[in-house]
């Protein structure tokens, strides 16, 4: 078939001048791109936008050729596949990444130059594919890049949201959300598959285990080819769009009820319309659950359909398919796979359960209780009655299996007088109180079993029952992992403690990683060249461990000078961007201090803001001579606040309010600039990170599961100020803790310190001054900032849950260390080189290889280059 197609392609190409294949030698690349502008885009003149689209269409054809070859090859070999189920894939832009991964940068660079463009300028015309909130979604994008690069048979599966992450604008210093209309000009990186569709049902009734949904929608596939680097392998990200079963309700249409006639269509399309812009916070909306089951069901149906073209015995499924559930969002997969195996395939319960629990694995990304999804049984029973029935049964079989164990525990321990306090758990504020208020005394066995329950009582409203999706995932999976060493330990001691004790072998760690292609080789081309020159080869792009070889240059003065020059060039690029977007002039001789991430109290952007106020007060109080000794700083913030997150929105306003005073104070001049860059996204990160000299990862210990931007900064030789939290701990191990600016309390002390809050008196005088200044109205509306201050400063009103007041003093010490070290540029640069040199471990290639070996048992199947 392929041979016939090739012949036909060439014959077609010969007759049709404008449609010749690029890269086949039949047509020059500039001609091909010109042809695309003329025939595909229908324009007789060119513009950068048109040239981008034409170049993308040209690259697309070559990508599709390689994609088809890969998929056909894999299909012929029939290896085991990994399926990464994720509600989010934060891909960013594709042109540069695709051209570079395919090794076509020389060709396209030259062709575009001939047409009067540069690849870099055109790349800037592309919309970001922002189908994710933050770290979790970007991690998924890095993972599929690594899967393809490592030749691992695997696909990503998710939702083709029509509107991605909202665009953030600033209006009078406040966040304003605007819709992300990213598909207007089409998306050249996807291939619509109208022939690949599945039905997904909702609502309705179950009668004698047979479910008749009351509503059905169609899931239609779109494939997004994922080119590996330095390999012929091209993987796939398959995203689903929701469509109505019928375009129109004909009866309604005939009655002249046109609006009602399209009501069903709108309802169906709503399912894949918008990404919920929440990051590590509550969802709880029925539409969200609909989205989840929509993409999970379509994906599993798709995998089963392909499996069945080659195999008839479903007990072989675990040898052919591993599903990784990215957080709780796709965990309805446990019930859905059971349902498909039992209801569609006719397996009995035990056989289906055996298969399910061998195919599924679960990654946890946070211990924030509000992010661990729990669906009201009422919602689940209404929307997914059959799934609810299955979950009920899983829950009861599971608890039955524990009865004996629990009984013997009860017998061996004398009954406690009073219900003992639950083992220290970082529960939500108030959860503990609610727990204690619980009136106990059911049957002691039931009571003891309840902590294992997938179906649980709502601690805030005991009349309500909830399905705990994380517990469902743990019970239904063969492996459960956290995303950094410390986080994987914490989940064993807190949220999954009881489950860990039952099956310790199920629990693993997979420290996150990031792709060194996008996050070093492509976003920092000058540094990449220098590294390649120093190491004598560019193998580090695929084997990031080789970056170790840079260690021997850390003290080399000549090398240091080159390294610094590149950082300076990158700072110029960022300064231009800042000027362009905000109008603020920032000096390039200043220290570039960056905090970019979702705005969240636990990430403590306000701690950073408070330290800026302190710095400002110091500058104001200094004499002329003293001012000359300050190390000039540019502090850059970026990040979005969830639309309904009140305090996060105030944190943004706090930063912009400080900026407008500080940036316009003639006493300060170049010594301090505070910039909030609006609409932080992947492509902005690609400009910011290479320019960063110090970056802030300052979450309250125990709260940030891993962090991944810390790894990107490290790769780009940016020093880190941080707490011993998430992957910072492992970065400190790799670089040497003494080379980071570490501060703050340890995770193990956090629970105790929170308990002690009420009596907290240990306010640092600098802190008190900062609070007073904020409340004096120096930065505008004092009433507006009153609750920001109360939340961290007034222990009668709040308890400073994230321990800002507590960590302030050590944070200030670390800040002083930064200033002091910056004066010693040789030492600073030595450390910077060491950071990059020790960043190899944090490549997503290492991480994905571990998933493949330790969870999926999926082996590389390199696609032959032809
Ligand atoms: C975790 F629970 N993360 C969640 C979530 O809903 N969204 C999200 O982005 C993040 C963690 O906060 C993280 O620590 C982690 O590195 C990332 O998931 C990937 O594991 C920092 O962004």
Tens-place pLDDT, residues 527-544 = 999 999 999 999 999 999
Nearest Cα residue to 74 out of 226, 249, 275? 226
Give the mean model confidence (pLDDT) for residues 323-344.
98
Q: How far is CA 407 from CA 282, 410, 497, 581, in A?
A: 36, 5, 19, 65
Nearest CA to ligand 1 atom 18: 136
Q: What is the pLDDT of residue 25?
A: 59
CA of 574 relative to ligand 1 center, distance in Å: 26
Q: What is the pLDDT of residue 279?
A: 81
CA of 483 relative to ligand 1 center, distance in Å: 9
Instruction: Decide: 314 and 281 in contact? Cβ < 8 Å.
Output: no
Q: Which atom of ligand 1 is nearest to the CA of 132?
A: 9
Q: Which atom of ligand 1 is nearest to the CA of 327?
A: 2
CA of 143 relative to ligand 1 center, distance in Å: 14
Q: What is the pLDDT of residue 796?
A: 87
Residues having CB closer than 6 A to ligand 1 are 133-136, 139, 279-280, 327, 365-366, 371, 483, 512, 704-708, 726
Q: Which atom of ligand 1 is nearest to the CA of 598?
A: 22
Q: What is the pLDDT of residue 772?
A: 97
Instruction: Decide: 535 and 549 in contact? Cβ < 8 Å.
Output: yes
712 is annotated as an active-site residue: yes
Give the mean model confidence (pLDDT) for residues 601-612.
98
| All domains of the chain in start order, with CATH | 1-77+94-127 (no CATH), 586-825 (3.40.50.2000)
* Residue 848: Cβ within 10 Å count: 28
Substitution site in 330, 364, 366 for ligand 1 pocket (most atoms within 8 Å of beta carbon): 366
In angstroms, the CA 141 to CA 129 distance is: 11
Q: Which atom of ligand 1 is nearest to the CA of 139?
A: 19
Q: What is the pLDDT of residue 803?
A: 97
598 is annotated as an active-site residue: yes
Instruction: Decide: 206 and 214 in contact? Cβ < 8 Å.
Output: no
Give the mean model confidence (pLDDT) for residues 519-528.
98
- Give me the helix-helix angle, 804-822 and 605-621, nearest 10°: 60
Tens-place pLDDT, residues 630-640: 999 999 999 99
Q: Which atom of ligand 1 is nearest to the CA of 371?
A: 2
Tens-place pLDDT, residues 143-159: 999 999 999 999 999 99
DSSP single-letter state for residue 285: -
In angstroms, the CA 803 to CA 851 distance is: 35
Beta-carbon contacts of 236 under 8 Å, excluding residues fewer than 6 positions away, are 67, 71, 155, 156, 223, 224, 225, 226
**The two structure tokens encoding residue 223:** 């494939």
Instruction: Decide: 124 and 56 in contact? Cβ < 8 Å.
Output: no
Number of Cα atoms under 13 Å in the Cβ half of residue 726: 26
Nearest CA to ligand 1 atom 19: 136
CA of 279 relative to ligand 1 center, distance in Å: 8
In angstroms, the CA 367 to CA 424 distance is: 14
Q: What is the pLDDT of residue 227?
A: 98
Give the mean model confidence (pLDDT) for residues 373-386.
97
In angstroms, the CA 295 to CA 301 distance is: 10
Number of Cα atoms under 13 Å in the Cβ half of residue 40: 22
Instruction: Decide: 172 and 283 in contact? Cβ < 8 Å.
Output: no
Beta-carbon contacts of 479 under 8 Å, excluding residues fewer than 6 positions away, are 361, 362, 506, 507, 508, 854, 855
Which of 19-23, 501-505, 763-767, 840-844 is least confident?
19-23
Name the 3-class secondary structure at 710.
Answer: helix
Instruction: Decide: 726 and 484 in contact? Cβ < 8 Å.
Output: yes
- Burial-class residue 142 by CB neighbours within 10 Å (0-12, 13-18, 19+): buried
Q: 507: which strand partners?
A: 480
pLDDT at residue 724 is higher than 60: yes
708 is annotated as an active-site residue: yes
Q: Which of 506, 712, 754, 846 is catalytic?
A: 712
Give the mean model confidence (pLDDT) for residues 470-491.
98
| Residue pointed to by tokens 């598959």 | 193
**The two structure tokens encoding residue 405:** 């164990």
Could you tell me if residue 424 is left (phi over 0), alpha (psi between -120 and 50 degrees) or otherwise beta?
A: beta
Nearest Cα residue to 812 out of 764, 864, 858? 764
Name the 3-class secondary structure at 674.
Answer: strand
In angstroms, the CA 450 to CA 446 distance is: 6
CA of 312 relative to ligand 1 center, distance in Å: 39
Instruction: Decide: 701 and 726 in contact? Cβ < 8 Å.
Output: no
CA of 702 relative to ligand 1 center, distance in Å: 13
Q: What is the pLDDT of residue 781?
A: 86
Nearest Cα residue to 597 out of 167, 136, 181? 136
Beta-carbon contacts of 202 under 8 Å, excluding residues fewer than 6 positions away, are 213, 214, 215, 216, 217, 290, 293, 383, 384
In angstroms, the CA 609 to CA 778 distance is: 14
Q: What is the pLDDT of residue 219?
A: 98
Q: What is the pLDDT of residue 8?
A: 44
Nearest CA to ligand 1 atom 4: 280
Q: Which atom of ligand 1 is nearest to the CA of 281?
A: 6
Q: Which of 320, 339, 399, 603 is catalytic?
A: 603
Substitution site in 365, 710, 731 for ligand 1 pocket (most atoms within 8 Å of beta carbon): 365
pLDDT at residue 419 is higher than 60: no
CA angle at residue 825 from 820 to 827, to 5 degrees? Answer: 80
Task: pLDDT band for 22, please (50, 70, 90 cuts).
Answer: low
pLDDT over 70 percentage in the chain: 94
- Burial-class residue 592 by CB neighbours within 10 Å (0-12, 13-18, 19+): buried
* Residue 269: Cβ within 10 Å count: 16
Q: How far is CA 421 from CA 416, 424, 425, in A?
A: 11, 8, 10
CA of 352 relative to ligand 1 center, distance in Å: 32
Beta-carbon contacts of 487 under 8 Å, excluding residues fewer than 6 positions away, are 364, 367, 509, 705, 706, 726
Phi/psi for 464 (5° steps) reads -100, 140
* Residue 66: Cβ within 10 Å count: 20
Instruction: Decide: 89 and 141 in contact? Cβ < 8 Å.
Output: yes
Q: Which of 387, 465, 598, 697 is catalytic?
A: 598
Give the mean model confidence (pLDDT) for residues 487-493.
98
Task: pLDDT band for 417, please (50, 70, 90 cuts).
Answer: low
Tens-place pLDDT, residues 822-854: 999 999 999 999 999 999 999 999 999 999 999
Phi/psi for 667 (5° steps) reads -65, -25
ipTM of the complex: 0.90
Instruction: Decide: 248 and 261 in contact? Cβ < 8 Å.
Output: yes
Q: What is the pLDDT of residue 21?
A: 55
Q: What is the largest CA-CA distance in the chain?
A: 90
Q: Which atom of ligand 1 is nearest to the CA of 483?
A: 20
Distance between alpha carbon 316 and the CA centroid of its chain, in Å? 32
Nearest CA to ligand 1 atom 3: 136
Nearest CA to ligand 1 atom 16: 707
Average pLDDT score over the chain = 94
Which of 166-175, 633-642, 788-797, 822-831 is least confident?
788-797
Q: Which of 53, 238, 329, 365 is catalytic?
A: 365
Q: Which of 290, 465, 597, 606 is catalytic?
A: 597
CA of 600 relative to ligand 1 center, distance in Å: 12
pLDDT at residue 436 is higher than 50: no
CA of 641 relative to ligand 1 center, distance in Å: 14
Q: Which atom of ligand 1 is nearest to the CA of 363?
A: 20
Q: What is the pLDDT of residue 3?
A: 46
Nearest CA to ligand 1 atom 6: 280
Nearest CA to ligand 1 atom 5: 280
CA of 156 relative to ligand 1 center, distance in Å: 18
Q: 191: which strand partners?
A: 223
Nearest CA to ligand 1 atom 13: 707
| H helix or E strand, kind and range, residue 125 | none
Q: What is the pLDDT of residue 369?
A: 84
SS (H, E, C) 136-176: HHHHHHHHHHHHHHCCCCEEEEEECCCECCCEEEEECCEEE
Highest mean pLDDT among 441-445, 447-451, 680-684: 680-684
In angstroms, the CA 659 to CA 170 distance is: 13
Give the mean model confidence (pLDDT) for residues 334-341.
98
pLDDT at residue 415 is higher than 90: no
CA of 443 relative to ligand 1 center, distance in Å: 39
Q: What is the pLDDT of residue 26?
A: 74
Q: What is the pLDDT of residue 608?
A: 98
CA of 453 relative to ligand 1 center, distance in Å: 25
Instruction: Decide: 326 and 86 in contact? Cβ < 8 Å.
Output: yes
Percentages (nearest 5) of helix, strand, coil residues in the chain: 55, 15, 30
Both ends of the chain: CA-CA distance in Å?
16
Substitution site in 86, 131, 135 for ligand 1 pocket (most atoms within 8 Å of beta carbon): 135
Task: pLDDT band for 23, please (50, 70, 90 cuts).
Answer: low
Q: Which of 328, 708, 723, 836 is catalytic?
A: 708
| H helix or E strand, kind and range, residue 56 | helix 48-77
- Burial-class residue 776 by CB neighbours within 10 Å (0-12, 13-18, 19+): exposed
Nearest CA to ligand 1 atom 22: 135
Substitution site in 90, 130, 278, 280 for ligand 1 pocket (most atoms within 8 Å of beta carbon): 280
Q: Which atom of ligand 1 is nearest to the CA of 278?
A: 6
SS (H, E, C) 762-795: CCCHHHHHHHHHHHCCCCCCHHHHHHHHHHHHCC
| Residue pointed to by tokens 């960022």 | 574
Instruction: Decide: 505 and 385 in contact? Cβ < 8 Å.
Output: no
Q: What is the pLDDT of residue 384?
A: 98
Q: Which atom of ligand 1 is nearest to the CA of 138?
A: 19
What length is written for the chain? Answer: 866
Phi/psi for 481 (5° steps) reads -135, 150
DSSP single-letter state for residue 590: S
CA of 365 relative to ligand 1 center, distance in Å: 5
Substitution site in 134, 140, 470 for ligand 1 pocket (most atoms within 8 Å of beta carbon): 134
Q: How far is CA 203 from CA 76, 260, 284, 694, in A?
A: 39, 20, 17, 52
Q: Which atom of ligand 1 is nearest to the CA of 487?
A: 14
Substitution site in 86, 87, 132, 136 for ligand 1 pocket (most atoms within 8 Å of beta carbon): 136
Cα-based torsion angle of the residue sequence 479, 481, 485, 486 in order, rounded to the nearest 10 degrees: -120
CA of 657 relative to ligand 1 center, distance in Å: 28
């Amino acid at each position: 078939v392929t041979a016939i197609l090739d012949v036909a392609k060439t014959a077609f190409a010969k007759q049709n001048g404008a449609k010749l294949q690029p890269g086949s030698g039949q047509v020059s690349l500039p001609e091909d791109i010109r042809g695309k502008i003329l025939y595909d885009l229908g324009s007789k003149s060119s513009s950068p936008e048109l040239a981008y689209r034409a170049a993308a269409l040209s690259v697309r054809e070559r990508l599709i050729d390689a994609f088809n070859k890969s998929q056909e090859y894999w299909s012929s070999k029939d290896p085991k596949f990994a399926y990464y189920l994720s509600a989010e894939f934060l891909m960013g832009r594709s042109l540069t990444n695709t051209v570079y991964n395919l090794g076509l940068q020389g060709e396209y660079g030259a062709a575009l130059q001939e047409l009067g463009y540069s690849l870099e300028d055109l790349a800037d015309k592309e919309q970001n594919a922002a189908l994710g909130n933050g770290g979790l979604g970007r991690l998924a994008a890095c993972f599929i890049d690594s899967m393809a690069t490592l030749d691992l048979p695997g696909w990503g599966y998710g939702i083709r949201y029509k509107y991605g992450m909202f665009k953030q604008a600033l209006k009078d210093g406040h966040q304003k959300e605007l819709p992300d209309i990213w598909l207007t000009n089409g998306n050249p990186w996807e291939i619509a598959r109208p022939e690949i569709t599945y039905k997904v049902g909702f609502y309705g009734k179950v009668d004698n285990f047979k479910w008749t949904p009351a509503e059905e929608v169609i899931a239609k596939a779109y494939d997004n080819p994922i080119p590996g680097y330095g390999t012929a392998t091209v993987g796939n990200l398959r995203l689903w769009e929701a469509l109505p079963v019928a375009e129109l309700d004909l009866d309604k249409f005939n009655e002249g009820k046109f609006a009602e006639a399209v009501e069903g269509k709108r309802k169906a399309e709503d399912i894949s319309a918008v990404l919920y812009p929440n990051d590590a916070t509550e969802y709880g909306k029925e539409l969200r659950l609909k989205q989840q089951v929509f993409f999970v069901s379509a994906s599993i149906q798709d995998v089963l359909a392909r499996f069945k073209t080659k195999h008839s015995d479903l007990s072989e499924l675990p040898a052919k398919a591993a599903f990784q559930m990215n957080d709780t969002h796709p965990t309805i997969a446990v019930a859905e796979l059971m349902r498909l195996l039992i209801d569609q395939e006719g397996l009995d319960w035990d056989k289906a359960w055996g298969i399910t629990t061998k195919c599924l694995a679960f990654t946890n990304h946070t211990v924030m209780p509000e992010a661990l999804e729990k669906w009201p049984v009422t919602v689940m029973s209404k929307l997914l009655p059959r799934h609810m029935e299955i979950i009920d049964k899983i829950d009861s079989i599971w608890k039955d299996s524990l009865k004996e164990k629990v009984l013997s525990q009860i017998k061996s321990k004398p009954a406690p007088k009073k219900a003992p306090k639950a083992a220290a758990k970082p529960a939500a504020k108030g959860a503990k109180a609610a727990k204690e208020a619980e009136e106990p005394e059911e049957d002691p066995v039931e009571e003891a079993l309840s902590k294992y329950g997938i179906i649980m009582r709502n601690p805030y409203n005991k009349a309500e029952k909830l399905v705990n999706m994380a517990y469902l995932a743990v019970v239904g999976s063969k492996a459960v992992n956290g995303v950094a060493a410390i986080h994987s330990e914490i989940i064993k001691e807190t949220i999954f403690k009881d489950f860990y004790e039952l099956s310790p072998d199920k629990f693993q760690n997979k420290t996150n990683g990031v792709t060194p292609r996008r996050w070093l080789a492509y976003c920092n081309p000058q540094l990449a060249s220098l590294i390649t020159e120093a190491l004598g080869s560019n193998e580090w792009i695929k084997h990031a461990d080789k970056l170790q070889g840079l260690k021997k240059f850390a003290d080399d003065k000549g090398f240091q000078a080159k390294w610094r020059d590149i950082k300076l060039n990158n700072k110029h690029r960022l300064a231009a961007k800042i000027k362009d977007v905000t109008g603020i002039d920032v000096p390039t001789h200043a220290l570039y201090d960056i905090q970019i991430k979702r705005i969240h109290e636990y990430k403590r952007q306000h701690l950073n803001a408070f330290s800026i106020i302190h710095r400002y007060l110091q500058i104001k109080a200094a004499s002329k001579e003293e001012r000359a000794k300050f190390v000039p700083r540019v502090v850059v913030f970026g990040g979005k606040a969830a639309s309904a997150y009140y305090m996060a929105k105030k944190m943004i306003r706090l930063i912009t309010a400080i900026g407008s005073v500080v940036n316009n104070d003639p006493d300060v001049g170049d010594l301090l600039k505070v910039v909030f860059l609006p609409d932080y996204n992947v492509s902005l990160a690609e400009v910011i990170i290479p320019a960063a000299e110090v970056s802030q990862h300052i979450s309250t210990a125990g709260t940030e599961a891993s962090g991944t931007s810390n790894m990107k900064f490290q790769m780009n030789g940016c020093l880190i100020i941080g707490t011993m939290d998430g992957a910072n701990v492992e970065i400190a191990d790799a670089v040497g803790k003494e080379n980071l600016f570490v501060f703050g309390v340890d995770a193990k002390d956090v629970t105790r310190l929170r308990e002690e809050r009420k009596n907290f008196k240990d306010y640092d005088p600098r802190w008190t001054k900062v609070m007073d200044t904020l409340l004096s109205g120096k930065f505008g509306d004092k009433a507006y900032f009153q609750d920001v201050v109360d939340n961290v400063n007034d222990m009668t009103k709040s308890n400073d849950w994230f321990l800002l007041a507590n960590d302030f003093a050590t944070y200030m010490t670390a800040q002083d260390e930064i200033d002091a070290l910056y004066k010693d540029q040789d030492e600073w640069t030595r450390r910077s080189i060491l950071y990059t040199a020790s960043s190899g471990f944090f490549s997503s290639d290492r991480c994905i290889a571990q998933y493949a070996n330790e969870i999926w048992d999926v082996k590389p199947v390199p696609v032959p280059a032809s």
